[in-house]
Structures are given as C-alpha cells and as structure tokens.
C-alpha cells in the first residue's frame, strides 16, 4: 500500500478523496478536531460533541464517517482509521491518504491527481495520529 499526498486541496477535492478511501476500507474510527462554534455555524453541528465550546477533539465510531466527510471543510483536522490511518485532512489543505492502485485509479477518476509520497516521515505519522 502506497502513501499519497495532495497540497492545497479545497474542501470539495478532499471530500472526493475521503469518499473514495471510505468506500474501499473497513473504517474503524475517525478522529476529528475543530472549533465548535465555527463547525456549528457551518451547519455541521451533528459532528460537534454535546456541550463543546472552543476547540474540541473527538474520536467517533467508523459507522459515522459519512457525516464527518460531509463536514470535512468546517473541521481543522480529520483522521480516518482502518487498521491504521488511511486518510488525513488538515485545515491548510494538506491531504494524505493510503491505498493500492485501485484506490489511486478511483481518485484519478474523480479528477484528482495525487503525488506519491516517497515515504511517510515519522513526524507526519505523529501529526496524523497526535492525541494532543
């Protein structure tokens, strides 16, 4: 399985890639981070934990991944896990995802051109899985 990267991806592009990844992996969990007020203002309040104010981080069950993909643009970070992180979105437009040739072909069919990440540096793995 290869790692791929996109830089300066807009919300729509990131959602396309996330949808492809979600369709091809058994998603176990999703970790999200965002500013509660901003997420609610975007109309995506269903992904904000009850009573949350300010910045929040939440891990949710993989069954709820579709609502997260829909809200992706209003969140500051999204990491989708199968047996390991398979997709990460960062508010600066950086997207990292993992997959085989089938995943890459499906992403290409969506009109998205990804670059192969020659390796995933340990710092990026830590950033994708950071609890802090």
Per-residue pLDDT in tens (0 to 9) along the chain, 132 residues: 888 999 889 999 999 999 999 999 999 999 999 999 999 999 999 999 999 999 999 999 999 999 999 999 999 999 999 989 999 999 999 999 999 999 999 999 999 988 887 555 555 556 555 554
Q: Which of 90, 104, 91 is nearest to 4 (CA)?
A: 104
Q: Which of 61, 65, 84 is nearest to 23 (CA)?
A: 65
Q: Which of 17, 15, 125, 115 is nearest to 75 (CA)?
A: 15
pLDDT of residue 124: 56
Q: Which helix (DSSP H) or strand (DSSP E) does residue 95 occupy? A: strand 95-99
pTM summary value: 0.86
Distance CA 15, CA 21 (A): 10
pLDDT of residue 132: 46
Quote the longest CA-to-CA distance of the chain: 42
pLDDT of residue 123: 56
Helices (H) and strands (E) counted in the chain, each on its own, are 5, 7
pLDDT of residue 17: 96
């Amino acid at each position: 399985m290869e790692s791929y990267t996109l830089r300066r991806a807009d919300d729509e592009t990131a959602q396309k890639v996330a949808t492809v990844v979600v369709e091809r992996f058994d998603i176990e969990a999703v970790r999200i981070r965002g500013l509660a007020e901003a997420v609610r203002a975007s109309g995506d309040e269903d992904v904000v934990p009850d009573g949350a104010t300010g910045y929040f981080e939440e891990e949710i069950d993989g069954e709820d991944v579709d609502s997260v993909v829909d809200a992706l643009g209003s969140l500051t970070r999204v990491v989708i896990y199968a047996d390991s992180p398979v997709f990460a979105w960062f508010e600066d437009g950086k997207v990292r995802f993992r997959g085989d040739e089938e995943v890459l072909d499906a992403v290409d069919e969506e009109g998205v051109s990804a670059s192969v990440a020659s390796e995933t540096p340990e710092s990026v793995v830590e950033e994708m899985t950071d609890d802090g």
